[in-house]
Structure formats: C-alpha cells, structure tokens
Structure 1
C-alpha cells in the first residue's frame, strides 16, 4: 500500500475532526476558555491521524492489505474449485446438482472412477435421473480394461432410454453394448433410432451411418429397406494383412483347445484392441486380415489412428487378456495404411 494512501486518509480524518471541533472552539471562546485549549484541540485534530498513519507504516503490515486485495481478485484454479465442491458436498450431501457437477468435472479430468462414484451418489438421491444413468454406464466402461458395457451399466442404459427415448448418448452407448456382445442387427437398429436426431451431413451423423454399415456387414448384410448414407466400402475401412507363424522351439507347448488371438491396438492409447481375430491355434501357420469390422467398439477402430501395434498370442485359457504361460509374438508398430503383409513369429513365453 502506498504512503500516499495513508497521507490522504490522515488528511480526511483531520478534516472531519476539524469540522467537529471548530464549532466547539467558537463556543469555548464565547464562554471565555483560554487559547491553549483551542490549540490543543487543533493539534489533536491534525496530529493524531497523521501519527497513527506513520505508526502503522513503521510497525504495522501495510503490504498485507495488498495481499488481501490480490487474494480476493485471484480466481480459483480447477483443483481448488474441485476441493471446494468436495467440501460443499461433505456439508450438503443431498445436493444432486453438486454431485452432477462433480461427476461431469471428474469425467472431463479423465478420472472415470471418481466420475462413476459421483454419478452413483446422484442415483441414490434421484433414482430416475436418466443423465446420471448414462453417465454411470459410460464411466464404468472406461474403468474396465475391455471397455465392455454389461451388467449394471447395461441395465442403467436400458432404463435411461426408456425414461428418455431421445437420449443421444444413451442410444449410442446402448448400440455399442449390442455391438460388443455380437448383436449386430440390434446394434444397427438402435443406431437407426439415433440417426433422425442428428444434423444431416454432420460428422456425427456420418460416423453413425458408417457404424451402421459396419454392424450390418457383421450381421451378414443390411436388412431390406434399410437406409444408410455410408458407402459400401465403409464396412471394410482400414485393413491389415497379418501372417502368423509359430517358432519351432515352442511347438511342443501348444495343446489342443488353445486359442490364437491376432490383434492391433493403438500405438499410444488404451490397451483394448482396435481389431482382433480369434482362431484355433491348430491353424498355425495362418494368415488373417484385420479390418474395421473387427473392432470391439465402433468408436475405436483401425481407421481411427495412423499407427498400430500388431501382435499375436496363443492363450491356454482362451481369454484375450495375457496370462502367465501364454505364447506371444509381435511385429511392433506399423502404419495402418500399410499394404505389405505383416509377419509375426510367436517366439516368446509370457
């Protein structure tokens, strides 16, 4: 705080005191009081505020006033705002809108577990909140390595779409769940309900049309009379030809019933494959073409990235997640638009 401020403040105080004291001085003269008393009163009027200001400058903390003002003007950071929201919800746990805000913020911060927990609080307070149902299902799938939508998540999605038939996110995620579980006709039908709600010609509408084409292709062809704006080639999209062989030293470790997985996943992204083929390990050596139609979810497919990690695994348990004793091999990172056959030798034990 500048010295000029204190001087100005002292002057204003002095003027105010003088305005009060001068009438008293005039009355004192009329009553015969001495001039010394009048001089003392004027001294008090001017010297006291100036002395107080000087004393504060010497022993006080004037800079602290600047700090208080600056602190009041400084906006909260996002982490500080989230902390304050947590504090508020601890005091008022029944605030539905507060929990919704926390859920949406946590999802934006890429913390799906925290977002799911917040949506769970909303559903305890408002069991028929369709937006919270969809949010819970979506964030639950994000916490899973396989990104599957099933169990409670699927039940909530179905309820949400019943309560709010025009829920675009709900319909999209419900179609993804159908697709993940191999119900391709149902996935296409769900997304066709979504189509009329989208702006014609928009990127979202085009993406949904492409996914309908993929689902129809996986189901064995589009149903009669079905309309879609996606070109027929969209059902194929990106494609990588992969040739897989087994190292002679590991042949004795393959037994009847073992499963071969050939997959491609994003170079930098979630571990869930963008395309995966499942075969009997007895077919080795073999050749397989990975395409967009082999995506586990329509939103994550080969053509959504430029480079992928391509690998192959022989699973003794039949599960796609690697386990101790599985046999593996990979071709490293390759370009999605590569036309050259990709060769993999399964030569390692997990």
Structure 2
C-alpha cells in the first residue's frame, strides 16, 4: 500500500506534465526563431532575384543584350531562385512534429494516470475488511448452505480473516449470536478493526439477552476512547444506554452520531426517529437528576426548620470528597456515575444512606444524611460508625459491574466531616 494519497499523486503528475510541456514549448520556440529568420531571408533573396530578372529582361528589350546572353542570364537567376526556395522548405519543416508528438503522448499519459489515481483508489488504500465482506444469501436454505461452505473454509484456512468474518455474519443473519461472537473473536485476533469490535460487542450483548454490562460496554468504550467520533460505536452506545433505561446517555450518544451523517440520509432519519422516542424520557430523567442534586445541596447546607435549627433527618451526618488518580481519570467517559454510600460494619450490606451524581470535574464533594436512606431501618444516625464505599459506574447501574472502580473505607464515625475517599485502581 502506497503512503501517498491519490490527490497528492495526481498533483505530482500534473506538475511533471507541466514541466514537460514547458520544456517542449521552450525548445520549440528556440527552434522556431531561426526558422522565422530563415524565411525572412529567403523572401528577401527571392525579391532580389525577381528584380534581377526584370533588369535582364529590360536590357534585352533595349538591345544591350543578345538573345543568347539574355537566355543565359535568365537561366542562372532562375537556378539561384529555385535553390533558395528548396533550402527554405528544408529549414521550415525540420524538427517541428517531434515536440508536438511528445506533448500528445504526455497528455495520453496524464489521462491514464488520472484514471489510475482517481478511478481506482482501492489500489492505493485497500477497502477495510469490515466493508469488504457482504452476505448475499437471503433464504434460510441459502444461509445454511453458505454457512456450511464457509465453516469448511475456515477449517482449511484458519488464518483467513475474511473467511471468519463472512462466517460470523452468516451466523448473525441466522440469530446464532454466540457463534457469531466467537467467529468475530477470531477475526480480531487476525485483523483488529474498530468496526469489528463494535460488531462483537453487539453479538456478545445479544447472546446475553440484550445485556451490555461487562465486556460489551468495555469494548464500546475502548473504541470511543481511541476514536470519540466513531459512528457505529456512538450508535451502539446509545442503543446500549437505552436498553438499560438511561435515556439521557442514549440521547447524548445519538445526538453525536447524528452530527456525523448526511442530513437527508437513511441513517439520519433512523437516528431522528430514535431521538424523538427518547427525548421526552430524557427530559424527565434530566429534571429528576437536577432535583436530586438540589436536594443534596440542601442537605449539605442544612435546611432550617421554623425555629432556625436544621431538620434532624436532613442534617448531614458524614461529609467529605471523592478523589480519583490520573490513571482512573483517563479511563472515565462522559456520563459516568459516582455512587457514595454507607453500610453497617456488621450485618446487612444494604446501604443506610446513598448519594449519587454525574461528576464533570474532580474532586467531588458529598454529604450523607438520614434522608438519603432506603426507607427502612437502620438509619445512619443510629449507627456509631459505618463503612463508606465510593464506586464509579460507566453504565450507571446500581448493581456493581465488572468494569466499575471503587474504594472502601471502614470505621468511619457518624458525624465526621472532611472524609477523603481516593479511587486509584480497581
């Protein structure tokens, strides 16, 4: 594969032709100037010879020349006139066709080169594997027959990435998602491409009943970290968030994807329909999040009752902040959710108070109170000390996922302020 893009190669070819044409024209002009000078000289000589002929004829008419002398003089002058004319023809025709023939040949080469550069760009940049493979079968019988043939091909050529991808897409077309995901794993071992990673994430989730938590989300986020504007990754991320009932995140991903496709395209129409469906729910969820943040702020400040004292259930009992290391921060994606909760040191692991937010900067302050409990005893104020947990979820799920990062701090006394929870690794 060449490292020169087609447009640069064409420019170089045009510059080369321009230099060639300039050289040919310069050479032709240099040759033409002597030819023009010779033509002028020949014309002057011809006029002189014609004047001499007139003088000879006049001398014979006046009787100053005999008929024999007149004929001899005329023959001599005509011989010189014919000789000059022959020399002028030789000088005028020599060397002219060759430069113009070269220029015509160069133009033909330019036409051929232009087609080679622009008419067949795949010779410069081969089409990605994920775009080369297409499934032509449509009926169940055709799909089954092609699956059998390509399965045999992968056994004969285990290093053929294109054969594995074809087999994976045949499995996917028959809803054999687990088999498709396994074949895609072989493709990625041979030819890793972002689009294939996204296909594998989708097949993995479908084989798990539409659950994207765990590896599928991790693969999607890996692609987005490397290529934040990867269209297929954004579309699938939106679908994954929507399947997990996170309309705000789904809306964010699909809006980004919509900006990457032509306005009148079929893809744009599909994204617009999805956004129209998710929009109202995203608005409700966003309002709920804003209300929750406002409640936390009220708790942190302490809401005063009629007597001016903070309400007991809303009074912050534990306050502090969550910090993250640079390594963790580099792995976070927009929309990640931070949970901070307290659990009893002994007995049930059910949180007695929980705080939730979507940080945009670090460190993040938090406050826990009785009003943030689960609606059942024990209350946070009834415990002398608790275990604090800070967890960052990329999916926003309340249940811990494999790719979450967290830290636990035991022995935190109720009523303490200035607690620091440092998340540095999984």
Larger Rg: 2
Structure with the largest fraction of helix: 2
TM-score, scaled to structure 1: 0.37
TM-score, scaled to structure 2: 0.31
